[in-house]
Chain A
Amino acid sequence: MLRIEHLTKRYGDKTAVDDLSLHIKKGMIYAFIGHNGAGKTTTIKSCCGILQFEEGNIYIDGVSIKEDPLACKRKLAYIPDNPYLYEFLSGIRYLNFVADIFNVPGNEREERIKKYAGLFELADDLAQPISSYSRGMKQKLVIISALIHDPKLIIMDEPFVGLDPKATHHLKTIMRDICNNGGAIFFSTHVLEVAEKLCDEVAIIKNGKLVISGSMEEVKGNDSLEDIFLELEGE
């Protein structure tokens, strides 16, 4: 579903991501772990077509993001680390805007908004302007907007930040359901316990370079993911 091949991204003299290759298959929840500034967000933004990169290529469902970015973007949804949204719109208007952009039929969008807004307990607040939302409410709105077009691939940057325990639980369930239905999830997180329990595969990145990747069992063996991560970081 998502194939990253020899991705290299530089900011001036600094190489943020160096020759990174990953393969996220259908039905897989893939965790992306690394210290602050390791290159996680750069990689994620490159995958979503927000950031241009110098070398390598990224394929979404076999289509190159460099060659046909719009076709790729139609298949994926992106949840950023900071939910900066259009503060001048109400929640429902934002969701309807996203649905229009992704050309979601009327009944489908209404159904999905009802389902997910109810699940995340945001339904009553949809008429409010986004400017009045808390950090957690904005995060919930971004998640609902990501789900509104039923994407095949969801790429998330720290998706659990700001969510209450109930919403976190619902998000984890949704992530598993999407993968069970043939989708894929690629997300970065610092919450190693969640990654360990939830993910099928994991990649650890350090200073822009891939340190290790593979199935959760292969990577951590009999240790915890935290032990492995700290060990690799210390090297």
Chain B
Amino acid sequence: MLKALISIRLKSLYSSFFYNSIVKKKRSNAFKILVAVFALYIIANFFFIFGGFFYSICRPMAESGFEWLYFSIAAITAVALCFVGSVFLTKAQLFDAQDNDLLMSMPIPPGYILCSRIIMLLALNYAFELFVLAPAGIVYCMNYTVTAAGVVLFIIEFLLLPLIPLALSCIFGWLLAVISERVKNKSLVTTALSLLFLALYFYFFSQINRYLQILIQNIESFGAKIRGFLFPVYHFGLAISGKNLSSLILFILCAIIPFALVYALLAHNFIRISTTKKGAARVKYKEQPLKVGTAKTALLKKELRRFASSPMYILNASLGAVFSLAFAVAMVIYRGVPDFILKDLPDIAGYANPLIITILCFLSSTNFISAPSISLEGKSLWILQSFPVDGGDVLLAKAKTHMVICLPTVFLASLSCVFTVKLSLPQILLTLLLPAIVTVFCALFGVVVNLHFPKFDWINETVVVKQSMSSGIAMLASMAVIAVPAILYISLFAQKISTEMYMFIFAILLGVLCMWIYRYLKTKGSAIFAHLG
């Protein structure tokens, strides 16, 4: 039974990538290869980032006699990545799954349902852990010889370490679920909490180089602190570096006992958690005049409400808008490009202004609000299809939602640059225009991608927003649209035409492309929409 439950989850995950819901057929092998290449690219990125980090700390630590600290830091990093990567999914999988009612009505022991979900989450944690511990292990092997015993210990610890972040994310996921269930403005509170969490996370990563320096300069005192406060990771490091069996046993206990306690607690309360919905207090409707609007405005308002109702959608699909705001604030605080950046990187000083415009464009391209918007119609797709509205208007309402949310933040960020950076007139025009055109492109392009890669049979909307082919393609392609021409310009035309001229040409071409996509959505897109579902 447990096998069947895990199998159905794996099939659902597989079909979200490799099943075309329009023609109800498996996707082609060429498509699967494309997905594999994309996955390899992501893995390579992680390996590169963490490999570089571990390479810079491996020798200094081992040579200072703090080899255990190297592995402890690897463990801390892995735990942090696993936790950040899985906490929201843990909440969605354990506490908000839409198939709870269906599964609970079947003669399946609740423990099996919980166990199948925990196993899937554990698998996800292993993937995140691999991104950190594999480069850490490889870097160590490159610098020092390793013994068979060391490898065995490393594998044992690798298998047990994710139990720690999994226990933590179960607790935090539960807390998030309890808070969001009881508060009135559920999505607002969850979004605020998640943004705070993200702000702390990104602050930490922005300071990583400083921390790294402090760490290497104060290895001894840092080691003492880890020994004192982070008992499990201390023994994680000590077990591998010193082949210390007692440390291994202590680490195993530290990983298994908290997880077992959390699991027992969840298993004991699973039926109550899954079936109790406290909800908000009942509000009695008082008759009042209704606002009358056009069909197009109604569609736009509906899309905006859809967006605002889901913190998960807000946090994943509009992070670029949040970063644009943060960028605007940073520009005002630092009054333009901070001097220390220009001093440290004198080579980029001449390109600082075009670089700022490029950064603004990249920030815009990380928003993908429109990319899952058709899939999010799910089983209520019949509503729009049965209404007397043109499919093109429905699709454009989705693109407009993206623009309404992202354009003001992009404009604020652009404006902050105009007032804090010394820009020439063409640069001012580009700063105001180009990021806005990129935003319009992302909005329209996201809809096109989703039109061709829709998924309506989702159980949890997280699958559509975070893990769907449409979101992935839209975001990467939007970034590529900026990066590829920029690389081509730098390598082929930089000597022939000025950066500003290149940017103007790029803006015009992108604008033409936007107009073409707009026309496509109004004509062919409308016909495709009528056939969806």
For A103, list chain B residues within 8 Å (CB): 294-295
Q: Which of A107-121 contact B (CB under 8 A)?
A: 109-110, 113-114
For B302, list chain A residues within 8 Å (CB): 86, 89, 97
Contact between B533 and A50 (Cβ–Cβ < 8 Å)?
yes
Which of B85-93, B279-287, B340-348 contacts its partner?
B279-287
Please give the distance in Å from A123's CB to the nearest CB on chain B: 6
User: What's the Cα separation between A132 and B278 when bound, in Å?
Assistant: 11
Known: A88-B306, A124-B285. Is A101-B295 also a contact (CB below 8 A)?
Answer: yes
Contact between A96 and B379 (Cβ–Cβ < 8 Å)?
no
Please give the distance in Å from B524's CB to the nearest CB on chain A: 15
Contact between A82 and B379 (Cβ–Cβ < 8 Å)?
yes
User: What's the Cα separation between A49 and B533 when bound, in Å?
Assistant: 12
Asked if B28 is an interface residue, CB under 8 A from chain A, the answer is: no
Known: A109-B290, A127-B283. Is A97-B385 also a contact (CB below 8 A)?
Answer: no
Chain A residue at minimum C-beta to C-beta distance from B291: A96
Interface of B is mostly: loop
Known: A50-B382, A124-B284, A127-B285. Is A88-B390 also a contact (CB below 8 A)?
Answer: no
Please give the distance in Å from A64's CB to the nearest CB on chain B: 15
For B310, list chain A residues within 8 Å (CB): 88
- What mask results when residues 37 to 74 of chain A are scored 1 for a CB within 8 Å of chain B, else 0? 00000000100111010000000000000000111111
Chain A residue at minimum C-beta to C-beta distance from B282: A128
Q: Which of B381-402 contact A (CB under 8 A)?
A: 382-383, 385-390
Interface residues on A, range: 35 or more
Asked if A105 is an interface residue, CB under 8 A from chain B, the answer is: yes
Partner of B287, one of A48, A71, A97, A114: A114
Contact between B309 and A88 (Cβ–Cβ < 8 Å)?
yes
Interface of A is mostly: helix
Asked if A106 is an interface residue, CB under 8 A from chain B, the answer is: yes
For A74, list chain B residues within 8 Å (CB): 388
For A80, list chain B residues within 8 Å (CB): 382
Asked if A203 is an interface residue, CB under 8 A from chain B, the answer is: no
User: What's the Cα separation between A106 and B202 when bound, in Å?
Assistant: 49
Chain A residue at minimum C-beta to C-beta distance from B302: A97
Contact between A70 and B386 (Cβ–Cβ < 8 Å)?
no
For A101, list chain B residues within 8 Å (CB): 295, 298-299, 387-389
Asked if B292 is an interface residue, CB under 8 A from chain A, the answer is: yes
Please give the distance in Å from B388's CB to the nearest CB on chain A: 4
Asked if B289 is an interface residue, CB under 8 A from chain A, the answer is: yes
Please give the distance in Å from A73's CB to the nearest CB on chain B: 4
Asked if A153 is an interface residue, CB under 8 A from chain B, the answer is: no
User: What's the Cα separation between A52 and B526 when bound, in Å?
Assistant: 13
User: What's the Cα separation between A43 and B293 when bound, in Å?
Assistant: 33
A-B contact count (CB 8 A): 98
Asked if B511 is an interface residue, CB under 8 A from chain A, the answer is: no
Q: Which of A148-199 contact B (CB under 8 A)?
A: none
Contact between B290 and A96 (Cβ–Cβ < 8 Å)?
yes
Please give the distance in Å from A74's CB to the nearest CB on chain B: 4
Known: A49-B386, A49-B530, A50-B386. Is A93-B305 also a contact (CB below 8 A)?
Answer: yes
Asked if B143 is an interface residue, CB under 8 A from chain A, the answer is: no
Please give the distance in Å from A181's CB to the nearest CB on chain B: 21
Please give the distance in Å from B336's CB to the nearest CB on chain A: 41
Chain B residue at minimum C-beta to C-beta distance from A82: B379
- What mask results when residues 191 to 215 of chain A are scored 1 for a CB within 8 Å of chain B, else 0? 0000000000000000000000000
Please give the distance in Å from A197's CB to the nearest CB on chain B: 28
- What mask results when residues 301 to 313 of chain B are scored 1 for a CB within 8 Å of chain A, else 0? 1100110011000
Asked if B380 is an interface residue, CB under 8 A from chain A, the answer is: yes
Q: Which of B16-30 contact A (CB under 8 A)?
A: none
Asked if B531 is an interface residue, CB under 8 A from chain A, the answer is: yes
Q: Which of A73-99 contact B (CB under 8 A)?
A: 73-74, 78, 80, 82, 84-86, 88-89, 91-93, 96-99
Q: Which of B257-288 contact A (CB under 8 A)?
A: 279, 282-287
User: What's the Cα separation between A223 and B153 when bound, in Å?
Assistant: 81
Known: A86-B306, A89-B302, A100-B297. Is A123-B285 also a contact (CB below 8 A)?
Answer: yes
User: What's the Cα separation between A167 and B492 when bound, in Å?
Assistant: 73
Contact between A100 and B293 (Cβ–Cβ < 8 Å)?
yes
Please give the distance in Å from B447's CB to the nearest CB on chain A: 19
Partner of B292, one of A85, A88, A98, A100: A100
Asked if B378 is an interface residue, CB under 8 A from chain A, the answer is: yes
User: What's the Cα separation between A48 and B384 when bound, in Å?
Assistant: 11
For A49, list chain B residues within 8 Å (CB): 385-386, 530
Chain B residue at minimum C-beta to C-beta distance from A103: B295
Known: A85-B383, A124-B284. Is A110-B388 also a contact (CB below 8 A)?
Answer: no
Among A78, A80, A89, A100, the most chain B Cβ lie within 10 Å of the Cβ of A100
Chain A residue at minimum C-beta to C-beta distance from B530: A52
Please give the distance in Å from B143's CB to the nearest CB on chain A: 54
Among B285, B297, B531, the most chain A Cβ lie within 10 Å of the Cβ of B285
Asked if A19 is an interface residue, CB under 8 A from chain B, the answer is: no
Please give the distance in Å from A137's CB to the nearest CB on chain B: 12
User: What's the Cα separation between A109 and B305 when bound, in Å?
Assistant: 21
Chain B residue at minimum C-beta to C-beta distance from A88: B309
Asked if A226 is an interface residue, CB under 8 A from chain B, the answer is: no
For A71, list chain B residues within 8 Å (CB): 388
Asked if A125 is an interface residue, CB under 8 A from chain B, the answer is: yes
User: What's the Cα separation between A215 and B386 when bound, in Å?
Assistant: 29
Partner of A88, one of B283, B285, B298, B305: B305
User: What's the Cα separation between A101 and B379 when bound, in Å?
Assistant: 19
User: What's the Cα separation between A125 and B283 when bound, in Å?
Assistant: 7
Contact between B301 and A125 (Cβ–Cβ < 8 Å)?
no
- What mask results when residues 16 to 53 of chain A are scored 1 for a CB within 8 Å of chain B, else 0? 00000000000000000000000000000100111010
Contact between B390 and A97 (Cβ–Cβ < 8 Å)?
no
Known: A109-B290, A124-B285, A127-B283. Is A84-B530 also a contact (CB below 8 A)?
Answer: no
Partner of A125, one of B285, B297, B380, B383: B285
For B530, list chain A residues within 8 Å (CB): 49, 52, 69
User: What's the Cα separation between A98 and B301 when bound, in Å?
Assistant: 12
User: What's the Cα separation between A72 and B388 when bound, in Å?
Assistant: 8
In the complex, 26 of the A-B residue pairs with CB atoms within 8 angstroms, ordered by the A residue number, are A45-B382, A48-B386, A50-B386, A50-B533, A69-B530, A70-B388, A72-B388, A73-B386, A73-B387, A84-B378, A84-B380, A92-B285, A97-B301, A99-B290, A99-B292, A100-B293, A100-B298, A101-B295, A101-B389, A102-B387, A103-B295, A106-B289, A110-B287, A123-B287, A127-B284, A127-B286
Q: Which A-B residue pairs are the 7 nearest by beta carbons?
A: A100-B298, A88-B309, A73-B388, A84-B379, A126-B285, A127-B285, A74-B388
Chain B interface residues toward A at CB < 8 A: 279, 282-287, 289-295, 297-299, 301-302, 305-306, 309-310, 378-380, 382-383, 385-390, 530-531, 533
User: Other than the known A89-B305, A100-B295, what 9 A-B pairs have Cβ atoms closer than 8 Å?
Assistant: A50-B382, A73-B387, A85-B383, A91-B285, A100-B297, A101-B387, A125-B282, A127-B285, A128-B282
